[in-house]
Amino acid sequence: MQDYHYISSETLDLSKIQELISDNIRLKLSDEAVKNITDCRTYLDEKMKAQTTPIYGINTGFGSLYNVKISRENLTKLQENLVMSHACGTGEVVPVEVVKLMLLFKIQSLSYGHSGVQLETVNRLVAFYNNDIFPVVYTQGSLGASGDLAPLAHLSLPLLGKGEVVYKGQIIAAKEVMETFGWEPITLRSKEGLALLNGTQFMSAYGVHLLLKSYKLSYLADVIGSISLEAFDGRIEPFNALVHLARPHNGQLKTAERVREFLEDSELIVQEKQHVQDPYSFRCIPQVHGATKDTLDFVARTFKTEINAVTDNPNIFAKEDEIISGGNFHGQPLALALDYLKIAMAELGNISERRTFQLVSGLRGLPAFLVNNPGLNSGFMIPQYTAASIVSTNKQLATPASVDSIVSSNGQEDHVSMGANAATQAFTLVNNVERILAIELFNASQALQLRAPLKSSPFIESLLSVYREEVPFVTDDRILHEDIENSIQFLEHLSVDSEELFH
């Protein structure tokens, strides 16, 4: 296992990020990154010595206060005030898994040498990452336009010895951690506060975290859909490669191929069928699951570009002797991508619940609600209700956030992306999809066992033998909440090779 990942111009992608997280690999700045950062800072310091005209955010106020010139002796105070005044987050605390990605992506963005930060500042962020010191950040407060101002202010407060962090599982004052490690607060220089607060790392971190989970859930949806197909005594013909080569969407082809592989050597799938067709929720698995796969690939390309980019403002180009105020912090690409992700993942949950409904409906020789003595036993009647309830919630969450905009900063910031809202909505929605799929697996496992002595494929039988250790067959009514929670935990802990997920 490698000891360090060197931050440089090397492109970060989902596979690399998965590796960094899974293997808990620490970070180091490469020689290239160190040179980029120090050269840019040196240029800015020299520029400021001779600069008399205003440069936005460096010797001026912020937002609608862009015309207020700040004296040289107050530039450090200006940057510190910026960080403190913008730390206006509220709501729930952002999970540490997301904050860790925020740190990684902020370090990556600053390493290109277009932000004007001190090397000491970036090295402190690296130290936070390597020592699992996660600033306390809140879910609410970003409009996703001037970057993620409030969340990134909370991410940056501990650099000043202010705010709170999660360390060793506890929320403590940042000042305590500084004392533990013998660190002094960073003294911010011109431009640094703005470099830290302008950026899309809140949206980006949520997006990448959810992409990693969504690719896994997309794979699991194919597996669980295959189990349901077997349990429903479904037909294999709709998964024939000829059908999908005639309409060759990549995701559709991949889904059909997977299902054929999952069902290889199954006794159930090859038995003679009494029905000519299956309902769409079974027959159209390749088309529906496949469309979600294609959407994930689009969203992944958007986020790959974003996390390997400079997203603060203004941008400094030392070689060209240019300091340019632009709009790279605007979250519109991410807002649209996150909304698309929400819709695509909601559909995985939608079709999953329909398969669950079919399984409990007393069709194709299965008992009503998949239990003996229906009436005395309610069996699997209410898990389908639960899935339906979650699906309905997801339909509401999938409403695009990016179609909204609210004017802020006294009219200077007059169009915003609302990408941060899309991100937190997507977080809830994707976790909901995991619950819906867990309920389908619970139902499908029960139904498939009712098909004994006929067996499914060795792959599926092996998977279900492990699953049934956690969620046994239901003979008589019991507290099914516990089974659903165990089913969710089973999916969470199930590892899937990254080659299967991303290629």
What is the largest distance, in Å, between two alpha-carbon atoms of the chain? 88
Alpha-carbon distance of 114 to 314, in angstroms, equals: 9
Beta bridge partners of 90: 140
SS3 163: coil
Is residue 233 within 8 A of residue 365, CB to CB? The reply is yes
Beta bridge partners of 28: 6
The two structure tokens encoding residue 154: 């909370």
Is residue 502 within 8 A of residue 14, CB to CB? The reply is yes
Alpha-carbon distance of 478 to 315, in angstroms, equals: 62
Q: Which residue has the tokens 């941060």?
A: 420
Alpha-carbon distance of 387 to 436, in angstroms, equals: 5
Alpha-carbon distance of 303 to 292, in angstroms, equals: 16
**In the 8-state DSSP scheme, what is residue 379?**
T
The two structure tokens encoding residue 286: 């390749």
Is the backbone of residue 310 left (phi > 0), alpha (psi -120 to 50) or beta? Answer: beta
Q: How far is CA 67 from CA 330, 410, 412, in A?
A: 21, 13, 12
Indicate which residues carry an active-site annotation: 56
Residue 413 identity (one-letter amino acid) = E
Q: If DSSP states are collapsed to H, E and C, what string results for 177-239?
A: HHHHHCCCCCCCCCCHHHHHHCCCHHHHHHHHHHHHHHHHHHHHHHHHHHHHHHHCCCCCHHH
Q: What number of other Cβ atoms are within 10 A of residue 254's Cβ?
A: 20
The two structure tokens encoding residue 359: 């399984």
Distance of CA 448 to the CA centre of its chain: 33
Q: What number of other Cβ atoms are within 10 A of residue 140's Cβ?
A: 14
Q: What number of other Cβ atoms are within 10 A of residue 339's Cβ?
A: 23
- Alpha-carbon Rg of the chain, whole angstroms? 26
Alpha-carbon distance of 189 to 142, in angstroms, equals: 25
